[in-house]
Amino acid sequence: MSSVVLASVSLENVLVIGALLFSIGLYVSLSKRNAVGILMGVELMLNAVNVTFLAFSRYVESPRPLDGQVFAMFVIAIAAAEAAVALALAVAVYRHRETVNIDEIDLLRW
């Protein structure tokens, strides 16, 4: 049996992936007119931040090595709460206005 040697992934590689995910999320958030699409872009940006937190937790020596993972758990909890509230708002706006297009939702009163 031959052993397979896996190429190690460096910190720079993970940070580039995190930056690409963040850039894609930013583009989606700024280019979409649909509220659900904007929420998807925000979630992608939050996941990119999680990737960088975990990368720094894994590759950087620190006296408390779990800090990056703890921060990632807080970001996941905040992202879940944000998604729940934002989707509830989107459903309420859709029920009242019958659209989730951001350009058509310009009044604060119902």
Please give the span between the terminal C-alpha atoms of the chain, in angstroms, as a whole number.
Answer: 70
Output the average pLDDT for the chain: 84
In a domain, 27, yes or no: yes
| Mean pLDDT, range 71-95, rounded to an integer | 86
Residue 34, both tokens: 């649909």
Give the domain range for residue 81.
Answer: 11-104
Task: Give buried/exposed letters for 7-44 (b at 16+ CB in 10 A, else e).
Answer: eeeeeeebeeebeebbeebeebbeebeebeebbbbbbb
pLDDT band at 2 (very low <50, low <70, confident <90, very high): very low
In a domain, 42, yes or no: yes
> What phi and psi values does residue 101 have, to the nearest 5 degrees?
-75, 125
In a domain, 109, yes or no: no
Rg (CA), the chain: 19
CA neighbours closer than 13 Å in the CB half-sphere of residue 36? 7
- Interior angle at CA 86, CA 31 and CA 76, nearest 5: 95
- pTM of the shown model: 0.76
Higher-confidence residue: 18 or 35? Answer: 18
| Mean pLDDT, range 58-84, rounded to an integer | 85
How high is the pLDDT of residue 60?
83
Structural domain count of the chain: 1
Higher-confidence residue: 27 or 101? Answer: 27
pLDDT band at 82 (very low <50, low <70, confident <90, very high): confident
Q: Tens of pLDDT along 37-57?
A: 888 999 999 999 999 988 888
Task: Give buried/exposed letters for 64-84 (b at 16+ CB in 10 A, else e).
Answer: eeeebeebbeeeeeebeeeee
CATH code of the domain covering residue 98: 1.10.287.3510
In a domain, 16, yes or no: yes
How high is the pLDDT of residue 106?
67
